[in-house]
Copies of this chain bind each other. A is one copy, B any other.
């Protein structure tokens, strides 16, 4: 081992947090948030050290610096604000604080009434060195003070110990050799909607007002207020491209389609075009532009589904046969999960000899729709495409359009879902649909908010999707829909529903034990009775309003679970975390039994709520026009599933009148 170039770097910097995979991946934040950075910073011996957080926008030339605070045990902390979308970098630097060490020692010597003249001269040498590094008037001041120290005596000691002098010295680093942390770490900063959003998924094919007629983008545009009134901010459309004819699936996923069957929107591509075309039955690019515009007027955004797979009729099959895997007989390999065959779908081959051409083409699909005004993409099955592609494509697209967001539709193994989030997906589907009990929900939320996942994995909770009609919803009645809705919308800052199936309580499975819907919209045109009296629209509207008006629901990390002496009732609080926001404190109580009234005592962790042991407070139920008065930790709740399945309380503290 050779000696280092500079062996006098005595300071160690290690264990910087947050840091993902040794700096391989950026963490994620929302514009306006703080990034709190911690590190171990220390040196040999007993000298003091100084630690600095360095940070900048990725494209900035110079680092900004912030002095770090010691937390004890050689741990230091500081934070910086990421106020613009894009990418930031941060790292940590440290140096031995010779002046600080000398100053602290001087105090002890003074207290012990030691002779100080040589010590003060030692200090003057430190000031001389600092003067060399200083700028402007500081240089003059430091030189002058060095002279004063050399005069010695009590007066010199006072000058040496004055805060003014320490503050000047603090402005200059590099007075001792500076150690900089080995790595520069990155932050991807997204706009607010990446961290707080309410999604509504609908199939335009079913939004005609005339039963049996193929719905159009115009129909959606005309009836968009229905969605806006409920307070959603993202309208997500399944693929709107031409649907393949070869091996088209019939109603209820039957292998033999009837001539008038509309097929699955995920069997993408026909003679009319592929991923950059619109199914003629849905309308034109003009219609699409009008929909985008109308959504914007209603404070919503359109999210498009990008499903990278092809029907046998997709133009790429002829233009780029090398994008697909070929069987020994020369035919193209269709999708399979042996023994099941999906002959209406050709997967793309990421081991293609022309992988680079494939990547460019796929990225081009996103660019095409970005040009059409789309800024949010829901990516279908990203886990069946090569990881390196996603990292490249998302990094490139976000460099060009830092406001673009990607939702990963991956319900697969944990490591795979984590990887996709690390590679750049802005939001991720989760296992929420299958987390039902209090223990399961608590455990899962802790995993999402108290582990490293919180730095890069933004969960989006869906109680249902066109592919997932859970057993709970099949059997729990409308009470289950209500509870699952409240859970999704209040546990996670990002959530969504597949409507109108959800608000209308659609619960019939294709077969016993199946999570597929009976007569699924994926394969046919449906008629939704949007004004049905049992519709959950009023509850959804209240919930989305509560979400918008309460900053506590804009984050996941503040969640805290409070104990209830009844395993059917779950109780949790959230508070506002963003700097500068008013105190906003919410408490949710949800009945997980969809058939029976459940009651019990909540035992609040008062510390988390900043409440005193005997403090009275007001709870305003945001889901019902009622107020409650509670006192202290232990309070009674009773939830009747047929009337209300949940409370969503805003806690108001009473102003002391003493």
Contact = CB atoms under 8 A, between A and B. Distances in A.
A609 interface: no
A388 B7 contact: yes
A342 interface: no
A105 interface: yes
Interface residues of A, number: 66
A194 to B, nearest CB: 20
A411 to B, nearest CB: 13
B22 A351 contact: no
A439 interface: no
A124 B328 contact: yes
B328 A396 contact: no
Determine the main DSSP class of A at the interface with B: mixed
Interface stretch (A42-50, A196-204, A231-239, A585-593): A42-50
Given A415-B40, A419-B12, A105 B328 contact: no
A7 B390 CA distance: 11
B416 A355 contact: no
B384 A44 contact: yes
A7 B355 contact: yes
A389 B4 CA distance: 9
A356 B5 CA distance: 10
A355 B96 CA distance: 16
Interface of A: 1, 3-4, 7-10, 12, 14-15, 21-22, 24, 40, 42-46, 73-74, 96, 105, 108-109, 111-112, 114, 118, 121-122, 124-125, 176-177, 182, 327-329, 331, 336-339, 350-351, 355-356, 359, 383-389, 391-392, 395-396, 399, 413-416, 419
Contact of A44 (B105, B121, B383, B392): B383
A215 B302 CA distance: 90
A379 to B, nearest CB: 13
A380 to B, nearest CB: 13
A114 B416 contact: no
Contacts of A392: 1, 3-4, 7
Given A44-B384, A350-B10, A3 B74 contact: no
17 contacts: A1-B391, A7-B389, A10-B386, A12-B415, A14-B415, A42-B419, A44-B384, A45-B383, A45-B384, A73-B414, A74-B415, A108-B339, A109-B339, A111-B339, A112-B338, A122-B327, A177-B351
Contacts of A109: 338-339
Contact of A74 (B96, B384, B413): B413
A42 B22 CA distance: 19
A145 to B, nearest CB: 15
Q: How many copies does the complex hold?
A: 2
B44 A118 contact: no
Nearest to A394: B1
Q: Which of A10, A176, A395, A399: most chain B Cβ within 10 A?
A: A10
Given A3-B359, A45-B384, A73 B10 contact: no
A301 B415 CA distance: 50
A414 B14 CA distance: 13
Nearest to A45: B384
A129 to B, nearest CB: 12
Contacts of A8: 350-351, 355, 386
A491 to B, nearest CB: 24
A94 to B, nearest CB: 12
A152 to B, nearest CB: 11
A650 B42 CA distance: 45
B336 A105 contact: yes
Contact of A338 (B43, B108, B387): B108
Contact of A7 (B21, B40, B43, B356): B356
Contacts of A125: 328
A42 B112 contact: no
Contacts of A118: 327-329, 331
A339 B112 contact: yes
Given A7-B359, A12-B387, A176 B339 contact: no
Most buried by B among A8, A24, A105, A329: A8
Contacts of A21: 14-15
Nearest to A398: B1
Nearest to A353: B8
A338 B122 contact: no
A355 to B, nearest CB: 5
Contacts of A414: 73-74
A8 B359 CA distance: 11
A4 to B, nearest CB: 6
Contacts of A389: 7
Nearest to A125: B328
Given A7-B389, A118-B327, 15 more contacts: A7-B355, A7-B356, A7-B386, A7-B388, A7-B392, A8-B386, A9-B388, A14-B21, A44-B383, A44-B386, A46-B384, A74-B414, A118-B331, A121-B328, A122-B327
Nearest to A349: B8
Nearest to A11: B387
A581 to B, nearest CB: 35
B4 A74 contact: no
Contacts of A73: 413-415
Nearest to A351: B8
A224 to B, nearest CB: 36
Nearest to A123: B328
A538 B44 CA distance: 41
Contact of A388 (B4, B108, B386): B4
**Shortest 9 CB-CB contacts between residues of A and residues of B:** A121-B328, A112-B339, A22-B22, A108-B338, A1-B395, A105-B338, A45-B384, A74-B415, A122-B328
Nearest to A329: B118
B385 A44 contact: yes
Q: Which of A9, A43, A387 has the most CB of B within 10 A?
A: A387
A595 to B, nearest CB: 35
A196 to B, nearest CB: 28
Contacts of A40: 415
Contacts of A14: 21, 415, 419
